[in-house]
Chains A and B, each alone.
Chain A
């Protein structure tokens, strides 16, 4: 009716909204009636000329007291029933529900399906199929709130709670954590993706990623993760990037900010991945603040693999393991002979620039936004403004990466291109981006 709560995504949402509409109408009518009466009395019985007029000594009226005791009682019984009716539906999961295990931890949501498939930060479900979420927490209280489904339940360590919904439409929806859980509580969000049934089945059956990872040597798997998640800020050859290089990192000792020393053993590396701000290597204060926590993003197996990889870094590694072999740097003569867009492509793929490690050209999400369709794309920034990616914006983003951050991405791009890339290089890169439609 009134549509105050927005889009309805589950089959019981209309019951919640109906109860909400009824109580809204009652509330508005009662408030207007009572406050209106008060104001009406205030006007017609106001004191005139600064002098009191005679007033009757009315001490009360029993009939009125009975009326305004009984009437609100009847009204609240009715609305209590409406609330109960919607609640019973949302607490009664159908027997044919598809179960998904949900685990909350600071500050991410993990999902696991009956066939073993796992995701983080993204709950994928089929439309028209009741889904029951069986939830628990690894640390403190959380709460799983899906506004569009009108449901929510606290997620508690040491016990299981559940919630369910039957999605009535496909689409991408927001999930919030609504029980305060510490520093990044407001960042503990997930996406709910409701797919058509066939598409969901294909998605669920696709275990190529997992199989590939499971069959790898730990150090190879670590290398793979490095190429996707860590390469932007940590070099393997000792060269400085935003964060400390990983060259011969394992076993290394050094100074921490604020005094104290560290020894890079397994536990130190694990802590640095999960709680980047807890121990900061001297000289990397700003970098530590830029590094996001990978808690919930990397599993224990992932971290063990990364440590295995770090142990192997002795200076012989090649960069960009998960990417197609990077083209060799080109010399000036070759570059001069190329079209601007081709020159831009070469710069993009130049190992010295490494744009490709964080920006895909096929639309897939890496550390930074994809370059595919970037030219003149409208993007929302983290401060809420909308920006069209024109030449000025792209140039600014290359030279001063922290000036504007696209919503949903971290401020992790290093500011190392000022002086390294000249104006004509940047306009070449822009020409290249224009071709990535």
Chain B
């Protein structure tokens, strides 16, 4: 590649400074700038949702009313867990990795100048902003349904459900359009020589994610409209008094909301698949199987939704069917973990912050995956359904998976995105807080679940007191850790002095072959790819 020669005379000009002023950011169609627009917006909701979680944990620190000054009654608590769920799922984790790092990395990794439809990309962002604004307006009379919006509670409660549901509907369109954009980009804009089997696993994961976004999101869009129809026009689709069926609502909801778990976590799988080879100096073990397992998870993810409904009044036969197919998800997931660990075999392993997060991810995801087995088992799930065991399980999946994946990725690609190097000491300290705080929060919740503690409870019998207290301490540690980690990155991006080299980790990834930060259209010349994605190591040693 001849990147050096062409960038030499305008060394200083990059995507961050080639145009200046707020408007140049707000109107930019550069995928890298749109990444930052998303990043700042979703982080607002990450901290808002996190604050709601900490208030909940504070209220639960002891049995009975704990902070009556803030959480003045059970209703306030119910609002808090609804906001926590809605903010974290719809406004933070779903757009999380795809809209930020997907935007930043997909064109860079495949050697393209931008995504296929740059203006549509910006439009997706503004749809997100509109959805988020509608959601924020609904806070005037905040929703108390839980993020699941189950009918007939959601169709009868007095809170502003219609507005919040409409917000989620608009956000869904943002997600669909982003997914479409990425699918076309990956199909059409790969650089010469970037064959399908040379795509980095992050691209494969993003591709699988985009398919789910495009196919599943319209279903939740329709469901949300039906809720509005029910509330505004009394349509009677879910209302048993009019011959409707509340269980239908659950089916429609989970038909989207189970695949959405893979929208959240598949990109994180991709991130881990990028980080481990670089810091082990080894090719990704079993590349084809890792790719295949991503696609398998995306496909199987569509036919397992009713495992959320084993005790919802579905037929026993359906329950048996959905239990069996749910177990199918365990197999490709296990394959991924085996391949990540095997990649480290005979490597030359260094422990930068991204690698620590990636290894933590493997540990946390083992717990997420194995506890998922309990919930796929019919007889055991009947006991665990809607207890704290489920709460702990999906936080290991979503936070231990998707959020840790996002934080790992933000550290790993930070030099490329900002052109600066962050302090390893500060970021490792934050990592320790996050890792210990997270486990301290949720391991006690597994035990609470074993003892039968139901979720979404404002108050609880005092037998559960001690574990709740420990969990609260962990939650604050966890929250402080995230704040510290992100503050460290923000501070470095704004005021850091250490300039990042083009390729600080000596990676073979295409995104590292251009300048840090990249120029506006990524590469001075269209790169030509002639090697497999992770050609680390010496062939003679095989």
Q: Is the CB of B380 within 8 A of A20?
A: yes
B331's partner among A73, A84, A407 (CB-CB below 8 A) is A73
| Cβ of A194 under 8 Å from chain B | no
**Do A154 and B282 contact each other (CB < 8 Å), given the known contacts A56-B346, A174-B461?**
no
How big is the A interface, by class?
A: 35 or more
Docked complex Cα distance between A153 and B312 (Å): 7
Question: Do the beta carbons of B285 and A58 come within 8 Å of each other?
Answer: yes
Mask: chain A, 147-158; 1 = CB below 8 Å from B; 0 = not: 100111110111
B376 to chain A, nearest CB (A): 7
Among A57, A90, A176, residue most surrounded by chain B Cβ atoms (within 10 Å): A57
Which residues 1-45 of A have a CB within 8 angstroms of B? 4-6, 12, 15-16, 19-20, 23, 26-27, 30-31, 34-35, 37-38, 41-42, 45
Nearest CB of B to A28, in Å: 8
Contact residues of A between 69 and 102, Cβ < 8 Å to B: 69, 72-73, 76-77, 79-80, 82-91
- Min distance, Cβ A42 to any Cβ of chain B, angstroms: 6
Is A143 an interface residue when CB atoms closer than 8 A count as contact? yes
> Closest approach, in angstroms, between the C-beta of A352 and any C-beta of chain B?
32
In the complex where A56-B538, A60-B285, A68-B334 touch, is A182 in contact with B348 (Cβ < 8 A)? Answer: no
**1/0 per residue B325-346: CB within 8 Å of A?**
0010011001101110110111
A187 within 8 A of B: yes
> Would you call A185 an interface residue if the criterion is a C-beta within 8 Å of the partner chain's C-beta atoms?
yes
Residues of B within 8 A of A65 (CB): 286, 289, 335
The distance in angstroms between the C-alpha atoms of A83 and B379, with both chains bound, is 5
Measured CA separation A52–B347 after assembly (Å): 9
Taking the nearest CB of chain B, how far is it from the CB of A222, in angstroms? 30
* Given A4-B450, A46-B350, A27-B370 contact (CB < 8 Å): yes
Query: Which among A30, A34, A85, A139 has the highest number of chain B CB atoms within 10 Å?
Result: A34
Query: Are B348 and A55 in touch, CB under 8 angstroms?
Result: yes
Q: Is the CB of B345 within 8 A of A82?
A: no
The count of residues in chain B whose C-beta lies closer than 8 Å to any C-beta of chain A is: 97
A172 to B89, CA, bound (A): 40
- Report the Cα distance A301→B538, complex, angstroms: 86
Q: Does B141 contact A (CB under 8 A)?
A: no
Which residue of A58, A84, A179 has the most chain B CB atoms within 10 A of its CB atom? A58
Choice from B78, B346, B362, B378 contacting A35 with Cβ under 8 Å = B362
Interface residue stretch chosen among A210-218, A243-251, A376-384, A422-430: A376-384
Q: How far is the CA of A58 from the CA of B342 in the complex (A)?
A: 10
Of B95-103, B185-193, B209-217, B315-323, the stretch lying at the interface with chain A is: B315-323
Q: Which of B151-159, B174-182, B425-433 contacts A (4 or more CB under 8 A)?
A: B151-159
A183–B75 CB distance below 8 A: yes
A186 interface neighbour in B280, B374, B460, B538, Cβ under 8 Å? B460
Task: Pick the contact of A55: B282, B373, B377 (CB < 8 A).
Answer: B282
Q: Which of B112-120, B240-248, B255-263, B402-410 contacts A (4 or more CB under 8 A)?
A: B240-248
A-B residue pair count with CB separations less than 8 angstroms: 298
B387 at the interface (CB under 8 A from A): yes
B73 nearest CB neighbor, chain A only: A183
Instruction: Name, among A46, A60, A89, the residue most crowded by chain B CB atoms within 10 Å (CB to CB).
Output: A60
Q: Which residues of A contact B458 (CB under 8 A)?
A: 185-186
Q: When A72-B331, A79-B377, A83-B380 are in contact, do A183 and B323 touch as well, CB less than 8 Å?
A: no
The secondary-structure label for the interface of chain A is: mixed
- Say whether, besides A30-B366, A76-B331, A150-B383, A58 and B280 are in contact (CB < 8 Å): no
B16 proximal to A (CB < 8 A): no
A325 interfacial by beta-carbon distance below 8 Å: no
Q: Inside 8 A of B541's CB, which chain A residues have their CB?
A: 54-57
Q: Determine the chain B residues whose CB is within 8 A of the CB of A54 once the complex forms.
A: 348, 537-538, 541
A329 interface hit (Cβ, 8 Å): no
Q: Does A313 contact B (CB under 8 A)?
A: no
Provide the residues of chain A in CB contact with B362, threshold 8 Å. Answer: 34-35, 38
Let me know if B382 is at the binding interface, CB within 8 A.
yes
**Complex: A10 Cα to B319 Cα, angstroms:** 22
The minimal Cβ–Cβ distance linking A10 to chain B, given in whole angstroms, is 11
**Would B538 and A41 count as touching, CB distance under 8 A?**
no
Instruction: With a 10 A CB-CB cut-off, give which of B374, B376, B381, B383 has the most chain A CB atoms.
Output: B383
Known A-B contacts A41-B344, A76-B330, A145-B454; A87 and B387 likewise in contact (beta carbons under 8 Å): no
- Please measure, in the bound complex, the distance between the C-alpha atom of A55 and the C-alpha atom of B451, giving whole angstroms: 48
Chain A residues, CB < 8 A from B229:
none
Chain A residues near B313 (CB, 8 Å)?
153-154, 156, 159, 161
Q: Contact at B323–A38, with CB atoms within 8 Å?
A: no
Nearest residue (CB) in B for A85 is: B379
Beyond A183-B74, A384-B64, whether A42 also contacts B382 by CB under 8 A is no
Given contacts A145-B454, A182-B157, A186-B460, contact A152 B383 (CB under 8 A): yes
Known: A35-B363, A55-B348, A186-B460. A179 touches B386 (CB 8 A): yes
Decide yes or no: A58 and B282 within 8 Å by CB, A86-B379, A141-B153, A180-B146 being known contacts: yes
B-chain residues with CB within 8 Å of residue A87 when the two chains form the complex: 316, 319-320, 323, 378-379, 382
**Chain B: minimal CB distance from A178 (Å):** 4
Inter-chain contacts of A176 with B (CB < 8 A): 452, 454
Q: How far is the CA of A202 from the CA of B348 in the complex (A)?
A: 77
Asked if A328 CB lies within 8 Å of chain B CBs, one says no
Q: Is the CB of B286 within 8 A of A178?
A: no
Q: 19 A-B contacts, Cβ less than 8 Å apart? A: A6-B451, A23-B377, A30-B366, A34-B366, A41-B344, A41-B345, A47-B349, A58-B345, A59-B532, A60-B287, A68-B338, A76-B330, A86-B380, A87-B319, A147-B451, A154-B312, A179-B386, A382-B64, A383-B64
Name A's B-contacting residues (CB within 8 A): 4-6, 12, 15-16, 19-20, 23, 26-27, 30-31, 34-35, 37-38, 41-42, 45-47, 52-61, 64-65, 68-69, 72-73, 76-77, 79-80, 82-91, 139-141, 143, 145, 147, 150-154, 156-159, 161, 174, 176-187, 289, 380-384, 405, 407
Q: A12-B379, A41-B341, A150-B383 are in contact. List 16 more A-B contacts (CB 8 A).
A: A19-B377, A27-B370, A35-B366, A45-B280, A54-B538, A55-B348, A57-B538, A58-B285, A139-B152, A145-B454, A152-B383, A178-B455, A180-B150, A180-B456, A187-B459, A384-B462
Please name the 6 residue pairs, one residue from A and one from B, whose CB atoms are nearest each other, closest first. A158-B240, A86-B379, A83-B377, A147-B452, A56-B541, A87-B378
